[in-house]
Structure 1
Amino acid sequence: MGLPKVSNHISLTLMFFLHSCSHFTVVCFCCSNKCETLPLATRLNIVCVGLSPDGSLAILVDEEGAALLVSLIGKCVIHQFYFHKPVHSVSFSPDGKKFVVTKDNLAYLYHAPGKKREFNAFVLDKTYYGPYDETTCIDWTDDSKCFAVGSKDMSTWVFGAERWANLIYYSLGGHKDVIVACFFEENSLDLYTISQDAALCVWQCDTELDGLKPMPPKKAAKEKEAAEDDEELLEEPKGEEIHGKADPSEEETRNKVKYSRVAKYFFNKEGDFNNLTAAAYHKKTHLLVTGFASGVFHLHELPDFNLIHSLSISDQRIASISINCTGDWIAFGCSGLGQLLVWEWQSESYVLKQQGHFNSMVSLAYSPDGQYIVTGGEDGKVKVWNTSSSFCFVTFTEHNSGVTAVTFTSTGYVVLSASLDGTVRAFDLHRYRNFRTFTSPRPSQFSCLAVDSSGEIVAAGSQDSFEIFIWSMQSGRLLDVLAGHEGPISSLSFNPMKCVLASASWDKTVKLWDMLDSWRTKETFIINSDVLVVAFRPDGKELAVAALNGQITFWDHDNAVQTGSIEGRHDLQMGRKELDKITAKQAAKGKSFTTLCYSADGQSILAGGLSKFVCIYNVKEQILMKKFEISCNHSLDAMEEYLDRRKMTEFGSMALIDEGGGGDEGVAIPLPGVKRGDMSYRHFKPEIRVTCVRFCPTGRSWAATTTEGLLLYSLDSGLIFDPFELDIDVTPSNIRKTLSQKEYTMAIVMAFKLNEKKLIQEVIEAVPSSEVDVVCSSLPDLYVEKLLEFLASAFETSCHLEFYLIWAHKLLMLHGQKLKTRSVKLLPVIQFLQKSIQRHFEDVSKLCEWNIYNIKYALAISQQRGMKRAAEETPGDEEELDSDSDYLMQEAHKDNLSS
């Protein structure tokens, strides 16, 4: 969910596309204002994307040239293709019938897949030779007859998609640096070329698009036969080969299409290193947008090169720019910050502004109702995300060092964060400000954080002084310093039901501290290895401990008895690093889980660590229920399970051989504990790992902070047929028949047995509101919980708010006493219902406040006009009436401010 690193190509129509390490994310804010991740992934980082004009197909290409043809309607992979070499750019023709792929110094023209079923979706038509160096950009004419290709050799070539008799292919020069972008003018062959040294060349063509003459059939057939004969000698098919000429003779250019440079412009640069990095052109409005390495972007009107805007959005390189179809919105992507900005240039305002963590995410926490997630990263930022829209809506930057732990208070309106800068900060989500800062008497680096269920006691553990600091949230005063551990404090957890604090340390102990009895040590558990994480069960009756030896142990802390253990080392399945000299199986022996979390009902436990897998265990049976693979991206380190024999030579593994240095020792092996790779190398791989996992309080989803970003897994995304106590007589027709006979309770019970959501919704919405009280009172206890769970999920999408609120109110009033006996099991359902109602309350309350203000304003205006009419009839009272009308307007404005 967290915004990934933005690569070099973003396509924008109705949707903005962001491609990340191995996932492809679609941010569709025009229609639903939500961020969605497609359920597909490539093997390596995605480097370029091509989008069809109708928005139904996309081509994704990774670092090695492996391509996926994706249906954006069905959200599935249609075809896979391998280009054998890295691809620089992909571009569909405006008519959607062809697309061009550039790799090395060649351009390949393919027939685009049609709407009919085809054996081979990628059919090569032509191969174009011309540039001497690697190609960088592509642009098509509006009628799909020609396309232009820019190159690193500072030249631009214009090629024809078909054979044209009066068009020869030669290079357009005039630049002194790499070509960044090239654009055709609307319905014309006139061309703009932009280079990295911030120079713009305007090329005028002496021929219109309609003036292109097709090649005579006989001559074209001979050339095609010659190309096919040459193709038989080649290892792979290259289609019809077309060769361009850098310096054609005068005879060859006679009566042919000619280009002449009519102007050359230079952008205002700030410094010698402010290179132009990205550009986009909107043909209908003649708007040119250029981005620079300093984070500055310019808006110019062509062909006169009139400057409209010159603004700065960040201090990082702008990697990609795209303009929507109307030309009103401009999207900017910054790869260094993982940032996406959508700017409306006419009103000079942001439409969308999203940015992920610059470095790795370290911790996360759910709000009590599950609506929000807070994350902390090594960049010192604390971000709050909306789980329904997947957007970050507030970022706190007060910390000066990496954030190690974050949590919500029980109210859900306060976020606490601990950092290595020696502070614990409290943030208010009403006013978005840091209202409290907790510090220790002497500087300490805080490694963990916990807050009690009342939200009044804040505890943080230190990794250098081995102490636990206790503060009061109300006063901000330091209450006590708990000493007793002999190693760094690795984890803290408060008992949800009692005022008891559990602390884990590298000294192989877990201590329980009684917060009500002078903060004394209540119990000490001796563990066989260094303790990494500790977690209480939601009912507070069990304690889970993960240690460095890979074991997860469970304790009955009231009786100080170990109730079970799980040997999780083999389930981690640690991958083999690129520079490892041992197998993945041997490397996994020293690995362990670094994060734990109980499910909302306490029956399962989620565990993650230095691996690409997250494991979920059944606590009672102590068995592995499921493993989730968070990534298949081999651009990350520690992904290989086996030794790749293709990378082995007679001198050893290719990864261990330094190509640049001729030394005998080869590449230096990094020190233990290095997870991000050696930044001094030109190319390094971050290591795949899971830093934190948390279950949603509603029990419907869980989240993990990983090298890939913030990932959310939910039960509500797919349709699953899961019948409950199904009988042979329970069919949709019998349910509707029972419903027509007005036996509402029986129809609801039968619908829950079949357990189809649409059918349950049909039955419940058919019950008259006057009968809800009777139906709720006669409903069996077994189905009350299921009905509450359905109501909570129905609130997410339904517009019948009052009707479903009546159902929820009656169920809770009539069955409240019985539900109390099963409060622990029903807690996720109640929290799910609270989340749904709270979200609607916030939306509707804002709308109602705005409507009240508008009504008061309209009444004040109407009364003012009535007073003016009365004043016209009685002129002597004009001043008094004006003062009355001003008073009414002021009162309406005060009411708005108070609301």
Structure 2
Amino acid sequence: MKFAYRFSNLLGTVYRRGNLHFTPDGNSVISPVGNRVTVFDLKNNKSETLPLAARHNITCVGLSPDGSLAILVDEEGAALLVSLIGKSVIHQFHFQKPVHCVCFSPDGRKFVITKDNVALMYHAPGKKREFNAFVLDKTYYGPYDETTCIDWTDDSKCFAVGSKDMSTWVFGAERWVNLIYYSLGGHKDAIVACFFEENSLDLYTISQDGALCVWQCDTDLDGLKPRPPKDRAEDKNESIENLGEEFIEEPKGEEIHGKATTNEKERRDKVKYSRAAKYFFNKEGDFNNLTSAAYHRKTHLLVTGFASGIFHLHELPEFNLIHSLSISDQRIATISINSTGDWIAFGCSGLGQLLVWEWQSESYVLKQQGHFNSMVSLAYSPDGQYLVTGGDDGKVKVWNTSSSFCFVTFTEHTSSISAVTFTSTGYVILSASLDGTVRAFDLHRYRNFRTFTSPRPAQFSCLAVDSSGEIISAGSQDSFDIFVWSMQSGRLLDVLSGHEGPISSLCFNPMKSILASASWDKTVRLWDMFDSWRTKETLTLNSDVLVVAFRPDGNELAVAALDGQITFWDHENAVQTGSIEGRHDLQMGRKELDKITAKQSAKAKSFTTLCYSADGQSILAGGLSKFVCIYHVKEQILMKKFEISCNLSLDAMEEYLDRRKMTEFGSMALIDDGAGDEDGVAIALPGVKRGDMSSRHFKPEIRVTCLRFSPTGRSWAATTTEGLLIYSLDSGLIFDPFELDIDITPSSVHKVLSQKEYTMAIVMAFRLNEKKLIQEVIETVPFDVVCSSLPELYVEKVLEFLASAFETSHHLEFYLTWAQRLLMLHGQKLKTRSGKLLPMIQFLQKSIQRHFEDVSKLCEWNRYNIKYALAISQQRGMKRPAETSVSEEELEDSNSDYLMEEASVHS
């Protein structure tokens, strides 16, 4: 149960490709991020990545009208039917070809998908269990080129499909006498979007060249006449359709070309469209194509996005421009409007941006962007409340672990970040970069207040800060030196020389002033910071050293080398205490262009990042692989392997060669199939060069660049090709009893509790270890009686429960009093075991600190409001009664007393 870590969230990646969706209540955005889906709760300022994954990157998302079901389709055409309530996969289906769009009908009974030039209508899965959730109803033919968009009428009677052949087709979802299909032209470029007007068959079509056509229909929705059921004799020739497919292929020419038919009455009765108006968007430049659009029927609001990052708001059908703004310098890939029409979500796949804009107040509701290139390094704050990441794009981002949002980005570096870390206070972030600087950032004022440089320009590859936060050291790639600075003065204290290769890793001993440096010269050197910066010891290994890490208590050193071995050292005596052969556990995948097998290529791989767990008993290791391994240090055995991704859109994921991609001329992976794609090289005609010819499609390789355990011990994080993955203990689904006897049951606990044997009741509840039962017992017993008589072993367990209870419970003062009494009575005894109890204490500190910040903001806000009200009343010349001033002072005193009490418990 100790290693029951499960995927809990994905940070650092907010949008990749595909379409965005608002939930029916309009408060959350569903965004595809690679092969996963993240739900951003805009009301509660939280995000959550669903614990499910497709086999390839998700390209389109369909959401049911009630918001309970979603269809996720990846780039290969494989679909997942997902329950957003249970957050699990209900059904899997393969459409055999890439799908361009998925859209549910407004009544939720059917959904349409488009692939190639065909539209397929399926029965939507119902409320009951069924063997096949996707039952094909009809197949619609019409467009000559690929289909691009779908839209339904409000009553689900008809739907429209746009195509790259510049036509839009209106199909009947049922058998109508006067509407089987209708084709609309009038555009000179591919159709980007088509929208029905509210409760009408009137249609808007928008093309890529920025043209908007308004189509009026001479028939209302109520004017559609159902076709009577066919006679069996007439239906004899259509017996092929008994498989559930209906091929609607009418003779071309009736409505489209206006030719006379044999039955003049039928021609007159059928639905007719006429173009009422045609408008053009103001384009800026030749390459400013219209890329996406969304329409809100109730407010008649049309939002259009362009390749230059500009979006327009128009009111239809008059085409009045309301608003125009540039929100990015990249192509706007998708737009979505919430149910009330107030918030507009934009996705930019080029930079991985997700923006939610409130157009009436002209303000951002959400503005998030991940790292443009891959993440390289991460670090937890000492209380586990924040995460800092550094990327190849030169940005340093700080994330809140509870809300999963980035709240500050530092862009002072001009080259890629190689390492980031927090100081012991948790309010200063240090980052090293290949631009030759180490920078210190203040989390109070959000500014870069120190910049450390070397006498000669050097590229810094690693970084370490001592436990006091006063000494900063960074290793160089090119000069093989270690530079040491003072945080207070910002001056260079010393340059440590001795290594004969690039410095790969630095780590300070948490308990002593000893610095361990690893280098490609096959040595690890230990430097004493207080003894004239001399080399205290040199540890020699058999291969290039890649990373070093100290155990949290400082008594052990772990070293990972290029030969795939992890060795453990007693650094005081320079004695190796153990080793782990980790090469077989990496299980490297095969790249598309590899000439050798995955098994052979894994022989040359090694771990590039190490991290001890919070209690120091196990170690995490990762490298150029999709696996993260956790080892037991003392037993030197593999405890568990975590597969961080199953995304086959990334390279080095498959174990064996794919024979389907092999030809007599070599691998098909050598062919750049991005030509002609909307994101790739755009070549319209021979001899015409348009677009960026250097653009190429590539598959990023799966890798783990950095691993860190949370100081609370409840989770660990990994920076990977996909983003920042968080794995945490899912305590709600784990039955983990402690010294359980056959007599201990919930009924016996209740019986002891009714007899007022409070200490025994708590002990029995913790031995059974059911969270609801523990909460019931603790909230029942008087803490004055129990705290003094509680055994020492159960004091730790009560404190750990209190720390987890702070995250969900509203009984803040009650649990604070419990924690204060326990720490006051048993603090001296707990000091003797401070090393093992440190994760639990930090977990408690993180929970109290978060409440402290929230309550202090509320109290400050209340004080401000009261002072403001008093000032206004004084300005108006109103005399305040004596009791008003007294009550205000009492309220201030109560606020300050409450904050002081919480601060004392926190300290």
TM-score over 0.5 for the alignment? yes
Answer yes or no: is 1:162 the counterpart of 2:178. no
Answer yes or no: is 1:843 the counterpart of 2:854. yes
1:228-274 deviation per Cα after TM superposition (whole angstroms, max 9, x unaligned): 42677xxxx63343447353523374321111111111111111101
| Structure-2 residue corresponding to 1:607 | 621
Match of 1:86 among 98, 103, 110: 98
- Give the conservation status (yes or no) of the 8 Å contact 1:5–1:336: no
| Structure-1 residue corresponding to 2:511 | 497
Match of 2:588 among 560, 563, 574: 574
Match of 2:132 among 102, 120, 143: 120
| Paired residues for 1:637-676 under 5 Å | 637-655=651-669
Answer yes or no: is 1:23 the counterpart of 2:33. no
- The 2-side partners of 1:627 and 1:746 are apart by 39
- The 2-side partners of 1:239 and 1:187 are apart by 27
Answer yes or no: is 1:239 the counterpart of 2:253. no
| Structure-2 residue corresponding to 1:12 | 22
Say if 1:510 and 1:227 are closer, same or farther in 2 by CA, change over 3 A.
farther
| Paired residues for 1:209-224 under 5 Å | 209-218=221-230
Answer yes or no: is 1:820 the counterpart of 2:820. no
| Paired residues for 1:458-473 under 5 Å | 458-473=472-487
- The 2-side partners of 1:429 and 1:459 are apart by 21
- Give the conservation status (yes or no) of the 8 Å contact 2:522–2:544: yes
Say if 1:78 and 1:242 are closer, same or farther in 2 by CA, change over 3 A.
farther
- Give the conservation status (yes or no) of the 8 Å contact 1:364–1:407: yes
- Where 1:343 maps in the other structure, the secondary structure is strand
- Where 1:465 maps in the other structure, the secondary structure is coil
Amino acid of the structure 2 residue aligned with 1:632 = C
| Paired residues for 1:803-814 under 5 Å | 803-814=814-825
How far off its partner does 1:865 sit? 4.7
- Where 2:269 maps in the other structure, the secondary structure is coil
- Where 2:858 maps in the other structure, the secondary structure is helix
TM-score (norm 2): 0.91
| Structure-1 residue corresponding to 2:197 | 185
- The 2-side partners of 1:717 and 1:869 are apart by 54
Overall identity of the aligned pairs, in %: 84
| Structure-2 residue corresponding to 1:796 | 807
- The 1-side partners of 2:251 and 2:429 are apart by 63
Say if 1:518 and 1:242 are closer, same or farther in 2 by CA, change over 3 A.
same
Amino acid of the structure 2 residue aligned with 1:29 = L
How far off its partner does 1:658 sit? 8.2
- The 1-side partners of 2:769 and 2:248 are apart by 61
- Give the conservation status (yes or no) of the 8 Å contact 1:127–1:242: no
| Structure-1 residue corresponding to 2:790 | 779
How far off its partner does 1:646 sit? 3.2
1:372-395 deviation per Cα after TM superposition (whole angstroms, max 9, x unaligned): 000000000000001111111111
| Structure-2 residue corresponding to 1:404 | 418
- The 2-side partners of 1:138 and 1:390 are apart by 33
- Give the conservation status (yes or no) of the 8 Å contact 2:620–2:630: yes
- Where 1:736 maps in the other structure, the secondary structure is helix
| Structure-2 residue corresponding to 1:482 | 496
Answer yes or no: is 1:258 the counterpart of 2:269. no
- The 1-side partners of 2:347 and 2:868 are apart by 42
1:81-123 deviation per Cα after TM superposition (whole angstroms, max 9, x unaligned): 1111111000000000000010000001111111011111111
| Structure-2 residue corresponding to 1:2 | 12
- Where 1:834 maps in the other structure, the secondary structure is helix
- Where 1:845 maps in the other structure, the secondary structure is helix
1:549-584 deviation per Cα after TM superposition (whole angstroms, max 9, x unaligned): 000000000000000000000000000111111110
How far off its partner does 1:7 sit? 1.3
| Paired residues for 1:606-645 under 5 Å | 606-645=620-659
- The 2-side partners of 1:376 and 1:427 are apart by 13
Amino acid of the structure 2 residue aligned with 1:45 = N
1:495-526 deviation per Cα after TM superposition (whole angstroms, max 9, x unaligned): 00001111111111111111111111111111
Say if 1:226 and 1:276 are closer, same or farther in 2 by CA, change over 3 A.
farther
- The 1-side partners of 2:206 and 2:46 are apart by 34
Say if 1:869 and 1:53 are closer, same or farther in 2 by CA, change over 3 A.
closer
Amino acid of the structure 2 residue aligned with 1:250 = A
| Structure-2 residue corresponding to 1:878 | none
| Structure-1 residue corresponding to 2:212 | 200
| Structure-2 residue corresponding to 1:533 | 547
- The 2-side partners of 1:420 and 1:304 are apart by 55
- Give the conservation status (yes or no) of the 8 Å contact 2:191–2:205: yes
How far off its partner does 1:362 sit? 0.3
- The 1-side partners of 2:848 and 2:712 are apart by 13
How far off its partner does 1:776 sit? 1.2
Answer yes or no: is 1:510 the counterpart of 2:524. yes
How far off its partner does 1:773 sit? 3.2
| Structure-2 residue corresponding to 1:446 | 460
How far off its partner does 1:226 sit? 4.2
- The 2-side partners of 1:388 and 1:218 are apart by 61
Say if 1:253 and 1:462 are closer, same or farther in 2 by CA, change over 3 A.
farther
| Structure-1 residue corresponding to 2:110 | 98
- Give the conservation status (yes or no) of the 8 Å contact 1:104–1:135: yes
Match of 2:290 among 276, 295, 302: 276
How far off its partner does 1:782 sit? 1.1
- The 2-side partners of 1:486 and 1:297 are apart by 56
1:664-712 deviation per Cα after TM superposition (whole angstroms, max 9, x unaligned): xxxxxxxxxxxxxxx9573321100000000000000000000010000
Match of 2:449 among 422, 430, 435: 435
Answer yes or no: is 1:365 the counterpart of 2:376. no
Where does the alignment leave 5 or more consecutive residues of structure 1 unmatched? Answer: 662-678, 871-887
Match of 1:74 among 59, 81, 86: 86
- Give the conservation status (yes or no) of the 8 Å contact 2:674–2:697: no
| Structure-2 residue corresponding to 1:676 | none
How far off its partner does 1:653 sit? 4.2
| Structure-2 residue corresponding to 1:39 | 51
| Structure-2 residue corresponding to 1:883 | none
Match of 2:705 among 687, 691, 702: 691
- Give the conservation status (yes or no) of the 8 Å contact 2:19–2:334: yes
- The 1-side partners of 2:322 and 2:849 are apart by 45
Amino acid of the structure 2 residue aligned with 1:11 = H
- Give the conservation status (yes or no) of the 8 Å contact 2:749–2:764: yes
- The 2-side partners of 1:224 and 1:603 are apart by 74
- The 2-side partners of 1:361 and 1:763 are apart by 45
Say if 1:853 and 1:369 are closer, same or farther in 2 by CA, change over 3 A.
same
| Structure-2 residue corresponding to 1:682 | 696
Amino acid of the structure 2 residue aligned with 1:836 = S
- Give the conservation status (yes or no) of the 8 Å contact 1:130–1:170: no
How far off its partner does 1:4 sit? 4.3
How far off its partner does 1:853 sit? 1.6
How far off its partner does 1:647 sit? 3.2
1:734-760 deviation per Cα after TM superposition (whole angstroms, max 9, x unaligned): 111211222111110000000001110
Match of 2:330 among 301, 316, 319: 316
| Structure-1 residue corresponding to 2:690 | none
Say if 1:38 and 1:494 are closer, same or farther in 2 by CA, change over 3 A.
same
- The 2-side partners of 1:338 and 1:660 are apart by 19
Say if 1:289 and 1:631 are closer, same or farther in 2 by CA, change over 3 A.
same
Amino acid of the structure 2 residue aligned with 1:392 = C
| Paired residues for 1:749-768 under 5 Å | 749-768=763-782
Amino acid of the structure 2 residue aligned with 1:839 = R
| Structure-2 residue corresponding to 1:135 | 147
- Give the conservation status (yes or no) of the 8 Å contact 1:152–1:178: yes
If asked which structure has higher relative contact order (CA below 8 Å, sep 6+), I would say 2
How far off its partner does 1:6 sit? 2.6
How far off its partner does 1:44 sit? 0.8
Match of 1:596 among 610, 616, 630: 610
